[in-house]
Each structure stands twice: as C-alpha cells, then as structure tokens.
Amino acid sequence: MTSEINDQPKNLNIIINDLQKLIQQKEKSYDEEKQKRIKSEEKCSSLAQEIKKLKEDHERLYEEEKTQSKWSEEKCSYLEQELQKLKEDQNVLNEQEKEKSETLEKNMFASQTKIIGFD
C-alpha cells in the first residue's frame, strides 16, 4: 500500500507534465493559426489597396481618354467647319474670277471691234 501511495505522486507528476505539454502544444498551434490569420488579413488588405489603386487609375485614364476624345471631336468639327468656309470662299473667288475673265473677254472683244471698225 505504501508503494501505491508513493507511486501516486509520480503518476500525478507525469499527468501534470503531459497536460502542460498538451497545453503548450495547443498554445503553439493557436499562435500559429493566429499568425496565419494575421498574414492572411494583411495580404487581403494589401490586395484590396492594390485593387482600389487600379480602379482609381482606370477611372482617371478613362476620364482622360473621354476628355481627349471630346477635344478631338470638337477640333475635328471645327476643322470641318473651317474647311467648308474655305470651300465656300474658294467657290466665291472662282465665280468672281470667272466673271472678271468674262468681262475682260467682252472688253477685249469690244476693243478689238472698235479698232477694226465694226462699231
């Protein structure tokens, strides 16, 4: 019986040691999982920031392109109007030149007929 009593503290010490080891393992496992979660959250946060930046860049580029497109359309429209005005002016000048030429021909013909004496 004494032997059983003397053996009990050893068994209790073994149980306590085993429990302490188990607790340490669980704490270590918990800490590892916590670190994994923290790293995962940091990665997600980093990815979210990168996505936000890419969206902002995309929006900025879209707005710049829209502005450039609008400016280009306005410039093209202005140039088309200027071209139309120049064509109209050219037509007027051509018509005036034609009238001058016809008048000059008539005057030359009239002058020649006077010189020849057909008047």
In this structure, is residue 22 part of a structural domain? no
Q: Compare 82 and 107 and report the one with higher pLDDT.
A: 82
The Cα–Cα gap between 91 and 85 comes to: 10
- Per-residue pLDDT averaged across 54-83, rounded? 97
Q: What is the pTM of this model?
A: 0.51
In this structure, is residue 13 part of a structural domain? no
In this structure, is residue 18 part of a structural domain? no
In this structure, is residue 82 part of a structural domain? yes
Query: What is the domain count for the chain?
Result: 1
List the end-to-end C-alpha distance of the chain, in Å, as a whole number. Answer: 168
In this structure, is residue 93 part of a structural domain? yes
> Would you say 102 and 96 are in contact if contact means Cβ atoms under 8 Å apart?
no
In this structure, is residue 11 part of a structural domain? no
Write out the residue range of the structural domain in which residue 66 sits.
Answer: 37-113
In this structure, is residue 61 part of a structural domain? yes
Q: What is the per-residue pLDDT for 20? A: 97
Instruction: At 113, list the tokens.
Output: 């007929």
The 10s digit of each residue's pLDDT in 58-69 is 999 999 999 999
